[in-house]
Amino acid sequence: MSDPNVHRPEWDFERAEPPFGGRAMRLGPRTGAQELGATLYEIDPGGAIAPYHLHHGNEELLLVLSGTPRLRTPDGVRALEPGAVVAFPRGPAGAHRVFNTADEATRIVIVSTMNFPEVAEHLDTGTWLAATGPREGRAFPAGSDVPLMESVERSARASAERDAGD
């Protein structure tokens, strides 16, 4: 395998339909990175890379290569220019969404730590994500969550019932 090149990308996946609209090349796995994730995104006009979200376990850093993406954070929405670099710390202060309202595609690179398990939140819907690996995990839509001890007690009862027959 040759070294990946952001100027000659070999796209790993494409999401053509809204609300996404763009393509991505996962640089971290292509370079053998173990503790850092990095992805090149090309975002089509009207597209986005993810919902407004935050991470509890990982920090991210955005670098704008071309175009003028828009960035939503807790401070509001602003346009970014080529060369802009923005960090997203863990937790509520790092909430973000990157999208493109321009007439041309924009390219960005997102670099992140790769700590698992990871919990992320989609803030506009109240959905929680529990990730056990880079592409593995479960989503918990708003209203599907229960208090911790209620869940533990439910599981303990199920275990006791299952083990009662042995």
| 102-124 residue pLDDT tens | 999 999 999 999 999 999 999 99
Q: 3-state SS string over 38-83?
A: EEEEEECCCCECCCCEEECCCCEEEEEEECCCEEEECCEEEECCCC
Q: Which domain holds residue 57?
A: 13-164
The more confident residue out of 157 and 58 is 58
Whether residue 122 lies inside any domain: the answer is yes
Would the pLDDT of 2 be above 80? no
pLDDT value, residue 1: 53
Half-sphere exposure of 150 (CA within 13 A, CB side): 4
**pLDDT surpassing 60 at residue 93:** yes
Q: Is residue 29 part of a domain?
A: yes
4 domain-assigned:
no
Q: Is residue 150 part of a domain?
A: yes
What pTM value is reported for the model?
0.88
Do the strands 85-88 and 13-15 form a parallel or antiparallel pair, or are they unpaired? unpaired
d(CA 94, CA 85): 14
Residue 125 lies in a domain: yes
Q: Please, which pLDDT band fits residue 23 given cuts at 50, 70 and 90? A: very high
CATH for 52: 2.60.120.10
**pLDDT, tens digit, 9 for 90 and up, residues 47-85:** 999 999 999 999 999 999 999 999 999 999 999 999 999
Of the candidate ranges 1-5, 92-96, 122-126, the one whose mean pLDDT is the lowest = 1-5
Residue 149 domain-assigned (yes or no): yes
SS3 102: coil
Which of the two residues, 34 and 165, has the higher pLDDT score?
34
The pLDDT-based confidence of 161 (bands split at 50, 70, 90) is confident
- Asked whether residue 63 is domain-assigned, the answer is yes
Give the pLDDT of residue 19: 85
49 located within any domain = yes
